[in-house]
């Protein structure tokens, strides 16, 4: 039976998201496509509030029995269990919230998730095939996502941007477009929350390739251009600002820390990040500049600079690379 305690914090985030986006005046319809024991969908239903129904679906015979047992307590609140193959589009869509939480790649389920989500509904997508998206298996990434991945320390964020670009393309094929609200790397998986809308459907998606000859952001590993990547924001600052840790959070301290970091990070929508030790390596500095003085010096020079959730010493900045490097030189201990 699939139950992953390592996803506790991620499920806390899902509850925070549900609570921050409560509809007014009507119940919202939710679908937890791949429910397993139901832990995610039932938490979103019970702790998030405002759903009726929350459909929980599973294909596996053993899992469905456990799911039915777990959901029975929440039937009055709107839990409705269905045994189905989530790869097949459901006949009745119009869900305000669709949660796609697979083991591995979400690709086989994306078409039915998009068919199910209502206009202006929220789609939450997990990918646990992070090694593929982060470039450990380039051929698999090209095959699965039609994208050339970034490798190395930038790989996970590259993977997140490949996933968003893939989702954006699939959304376009439904005549709509997506707006990322929150997209992150957490441990060994990626997760994004996107609104699917017809609003401004003609607006082109910020999707493209990045290559070392034209690219002015953080240095890329040598090699050909990578992409297609989502090169727009990963966060909607106003939307992320509404997220608060629920009192029911299983990992309240970590959740509070994560939300604070995302809120700050949302203010600097730059693509990819720098790290002091990587800058020091590129510039041949004897030791890396300390992070806090480096961020302060970038701000003093008139640029935004914030830490990123992606890696412990990662930061994003609005400064172009030559400025980042010259400020880093001035801050580094000679």
Ligand X SMILES: C[S@@+](CC[C@H](N)C(=O)[O-])C[C@H]1O[C@@H](n2cnc3c(N)ncnc32)[C@H](O)[C@@H]1O
The residues binding ligand X (CB under 6 A) are 2-4, 7, 34-37, 39-40, 57-60, 63, 85-87, 101-103
- How many Cα atoms within 13 Å fall on the side-chain side of residue 11? 23
**Least Å distance between CB 7 and ligand X?**
6
| Nearest alpha-carbon partner for 194 in 175, 207, 205, 180 | 180
CB closer to ligand X out of 83 and 261: 83
In whole angstroms, what is the distance from residue 279 CA to residue 276 CA? 5
Closer residue to ligand X in complex, CB, 3/320: 3
Residue 113 or 291: the one with the smaller Cβ distance to ligand X is 113
Give whichever of 159 and 276 is closer to ligand X, judged by the CB atom.
Answer: 159
Q: What is the CA radius of gyration of the chain?
A: 21
The smaller minimum CB distance to ligand X, of residues 4 and 282, is found at 4
Min dist. Cβ of residue 185 to ligand X (A): 18
DSSP class of residue 47 equals I
Cβ at position 52, least distance to ligand X in Å: 20
What is the pairing mode between strands 189-197 and 226-230?
Answer: unpaired
Tell me if 160 sits within 8 A of 128, measured CB to CB.
Answer: no
**Cα–Cα distance measured from residue 179 to residue 8, given in angstroms and rounded to the nearest whole number:** 26
Whole-angstrom CA distances from 254 to 8, 9, 13, 17 are 11, 7, 10, 16
* Rounded-to-integer distance, Cα 200 and Cα 257, Å: 34
CB of 27 to ligand X, least distance (A): 22
| Nearest CB to ligand X, comparing residues 103 and 212 | 103
- Judged by phi (left if over 0) then psi (alpha if -120 to 50, else beta), residue 227 lies in left
Q: Indicate the residue among 81 and 268 with the shorter CB distance to ligand X.
A: 81
How far is it between the farthest Cα atoms of the chain? 67
Cis? peptide before 273, omega within 30° of 0: no
Q: What's the closest the beta carbon of residue 308 comes to ligand X, in angstroms?
A: 26
Nearer CB in complex with ligand X: 103/281: 103
Is 194 within 8 Å of 180 (Cβ atoms)? yes
**Beta carbon of residue 133, minimum distance to ligand X (angstroms, whole number):** 16
Q: How far is the CB of 108 from ligand X (least distance, A)?
A: 7
- Residue 225 CB, nearest approach to ligand X (Å): 33
Per 3-state DSSP, the chain is made up of helix, strand and coil in percentages (nearest 5) of: 40, 20, 40
């Amino acid at each position: 039976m699939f139950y992953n305690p390592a996803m506790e914090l991620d499920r806390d985030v899902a509850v925070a998201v549900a609570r921050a986006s409560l509809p007014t005046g009507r119940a919202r319809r939710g679908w937890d496509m791949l429910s397993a024991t139901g832990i995610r969908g039932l938490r979103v239903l019970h702790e998030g509030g405002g759903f009726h129904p929350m459909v929980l679906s599973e294909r596996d015979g053993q899992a469905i029995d456990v799911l039915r047992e777990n959901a029975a307590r929440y039937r009055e609140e709107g839990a409705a269990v269905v045994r189905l193959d989530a790869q097949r589009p459901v006949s009745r869509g119009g869900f305000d919230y669709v949660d796609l939480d697979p083991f591995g790649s979400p690709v086989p389920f994306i078409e039915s998730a998009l068919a199910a989500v209502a206009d202006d509904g929220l789609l939450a997508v997990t990918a646990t095939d992070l090694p593929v998206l982060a470039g450990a298996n380039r051929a698999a990434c090209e095959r699965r996502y039609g994208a050339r991945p970034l490798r190395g320390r930038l790989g996970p964020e590259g993977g997140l941007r490949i996933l968003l670009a893939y989702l954006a393309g699939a959304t376009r094929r439904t005549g709509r477009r997506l707006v990322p609200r929150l997209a992150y790397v957490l441990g060994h998986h990626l997760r994004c929350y996107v609104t699917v809308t017809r609003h401004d459907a003609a607006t082109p998606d910020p999707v493209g390739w990045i290559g070392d000859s034209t690219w002015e952001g953080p240095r890329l590993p040598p090699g050909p251009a990578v992409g297609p990547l989502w090169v727009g924001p990963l966060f909607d600052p106003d939307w992320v600002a509404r997220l608060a840790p629920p009192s029911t959070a299983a990992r309240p301290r970590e959740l509070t820390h994560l939300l604070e970091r995302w809120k700050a990070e949302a203010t600097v929508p730059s693509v990819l990040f720098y790290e002091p030790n990587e800058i020091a390596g590129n510039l041949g500095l004897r030791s890396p500049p300390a992070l806090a003085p480096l961020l302060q010096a970038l701000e003093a020079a008139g640029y935004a600079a914030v830490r990123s959730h992606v890696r412990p010493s990662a930061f994003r900045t609005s400064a172009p690379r030559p400025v980042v490097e010259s400020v880093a030189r001035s801050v580094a201990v000679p």
